[in-house]
């Protein structure tokens, strides 16, 4: 995740500063929006299965709530840092604004590795996280959700603890819950499908038939799995995917030049999105180094794992065949890499637009929970498609009319909406 050489929050602030200058925002608005409104750091002491005690570090950052309650996932990761959480909270503010849903930006995390924790220990961390922050979150205040290495089960433990503390039923406190327990149909697919809805629209604009395209994906978690599914349903050919291998402590790329078989890969993938390398080789996949996903002769690249993947060191590996990058991950491309991508004339669907399907469907789940009325799958996916398509075209039209890089256009729309909300409230 974050390292000493890469600070995602510094990158998020630099991206903001550049667009704020173009928009001519006043100093007070800049000062307000380039830092979080509130952040919480806390200890989570847990009794481990062996009877010993261990203290985990937890975070919740609320970047801005001018447009509505904060919204954002909780990730469990051994290299979690508060700067990562700050950046993700800030990007979430722009994400909800660019798709024009009435929410703000938040994010949470715990420094831990679920690979080495039993389910009981993970449950204890979830409940401890809620106990520390219960007064500062809630269905009309700040609504968490799953993120890296957290699931619907984790959300349900957190919901149960919150309801114990409040003595009320609040299914809208948290999203990404299992079906039948306040979860929404379509939520599991939403982020990956949203990436492909925007990709579909971009290819139409570029006059490229999706059925004639090839793509390489980075990551094989929930986002990438569903993005690959819908991309292939539309007739595209996914030829390679990379994923982390916990045993080897590094990533590998799995390639079949005539196209991946998604179902057979899913059968040999664990719940962390890690493909069994030996079984993949037995099925005839080429196993390449982890960074090979970016070096493929394809039309489309889809980074759908962690941040800082297309950077100054890797961007020059992108082949001339690549026409489009759809960012399924948060912050996968650094500012230095953006400059190279612009010079190569590659069309980019920026992260906080491309992957906004997840928070959009979380918003749907929130609405359904708060009204206690649940929608059928086709209604959820139709609403999602409509919002993602409209948001994509708003950004694309601005980019084309003013000759802007797509990321800058998306930022200009999002930041303008948030700044306007802050001004109308009389904050600045």
The catalytic position among 107, 177, 256, 323 is: 107
Helical segments of 221-293, H only: 222-233, 262-267, 277-282
Q: Give me the numbers of helices (H) and strands (E) for the chain, helices first please.
A: 14, 12
- Nearest by Cα to 169 from 180, 181, 179, 178: 181
Please say if 107 is a catalytic residue. Answer: yes
Length of the chain: 428
Q: What is the CA radius of gyration of the chain?
A: 21
CA distance 397 to 6: 32
Q: Is the dihedral of CA 234, 238, 244, 247 positive or negative?
A: positive
CA distance 186 to 234: 18
- Nearest by Cα to 201 from 383, 412, 353, 364: 353
Contact between residue 66 and residue 37 where contact means Cβ atoms under 8 Å apart:
no
- Nearest by Cα to 172 from 357, 371, 379: 371
Helix axes 357-371 and 187-205, enclosed angle (nearest 10): 140
CA 245 to chain centre: 21
Contact between residue 357 and residue 192 where contact means Cβ atoms under 8 Å apart:
yes
Going edge to edge, which strands form the sheet with 142-146? Answer: 38-47, 53-64, 104-111, 70-77, 142-146
Q: Tokens 């948001």 appear where?
A: 391
Q: Can you spell out the DSSP letters for 156-190?
A: HHHHHHHHHHHSS--GGG--SPPTTTTPPTTHHHH
- Nearest by Cα to 352 from 344, 340, 360: 360
CA distance 147 to 168: 25
Q: Tokens 């800058």 appear where?
A: 408
- Nearest by Cα to 243 from 285, 212, 211: 285
Catalytic residues: 107
């Amino acid at each position: 995740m974050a390292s000493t050489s890469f600070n995602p929050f510094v990158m998020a602030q630099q991206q903001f500063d550049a667009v704020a200058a173009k928009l001519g925002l006043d100093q007070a608005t800049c000062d307000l929006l380039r830092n979080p409104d509130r952040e919480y750091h806390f200890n989570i002491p847990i009794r481990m299965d062996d009877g010993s005690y261990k203290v985990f570090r937890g975070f919740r950052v609320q970047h801005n709530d001018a447009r509505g309650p904060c919204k954002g996932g909780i990730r469990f990761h051994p290299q979690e840092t508060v700067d990562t959480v700050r950046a993700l909270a800030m990007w979430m503010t722009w994400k909800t604004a660019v798709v024009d849903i009435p929410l703000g930006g938040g994010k949470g995390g715990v420094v831990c590795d679920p690979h080495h924790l039993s389910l009981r220990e993970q449950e204890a961390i979830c409940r401890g996280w809620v106990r520390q922050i219960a007064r500062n979150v809630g269905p009309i205040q700040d609504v968490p959700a799953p993120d890296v290495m957290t699931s619907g089960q984790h959300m349900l433990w957190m919901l149960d603890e919150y309801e114990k503390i409040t003595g009320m039923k609040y299914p809208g406190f948290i999203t990404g819950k299992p079906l039948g327990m306040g979860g929404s149909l379509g939520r599991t697919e939403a982020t990956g499908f949203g990436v492909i809805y925007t990709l579909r629209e971009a290819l139409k604009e570029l006059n490229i038939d999706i059925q004639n395209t090839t793509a390489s994906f980075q990551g094989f978690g929930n986002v990438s799995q569903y993005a690959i599914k819908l991309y292939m349903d539309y007739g595209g050919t996914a030829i390679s995917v990379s994923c982390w291998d916990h045993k080897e402590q590094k990533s590998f790329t799995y390639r079949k030049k005539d196209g991946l078989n998604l179902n057979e890969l899913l059968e040999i993938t664990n719940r962390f999105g890690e493909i069994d390398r030996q079984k993949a080789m037995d099925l005839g996949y080429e196993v390449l180094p982890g960074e090979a996903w970016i070096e493929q002769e394809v039309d489309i690249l889809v980074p759908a794992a962690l941040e800082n993947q297309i950077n100054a060191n890797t961007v020059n590996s992108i082949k001339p065949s690549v026409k489009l990058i759809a960012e399924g991950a948060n912050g996968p491309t650094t500012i230095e890499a953006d400059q190279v991508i612009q010079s190569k004339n590659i069309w980019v669907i920026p992260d906080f637009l491309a992957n906004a399907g997840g928070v959009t469907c979380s918003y749907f789940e929130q609405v359904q929970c708060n009204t206690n009325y649940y929608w059928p799958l086709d209604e959820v996916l139709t609403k999602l498609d409509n919002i993602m398509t409209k948001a994509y075209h708003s950004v694309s039209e601005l980019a084309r009319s003013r000759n802007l890089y797509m990321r800058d256009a998306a930022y200009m729309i999002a930041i303008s909406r948030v700044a306007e909300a802050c001004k109308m409230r009389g904050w600045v």
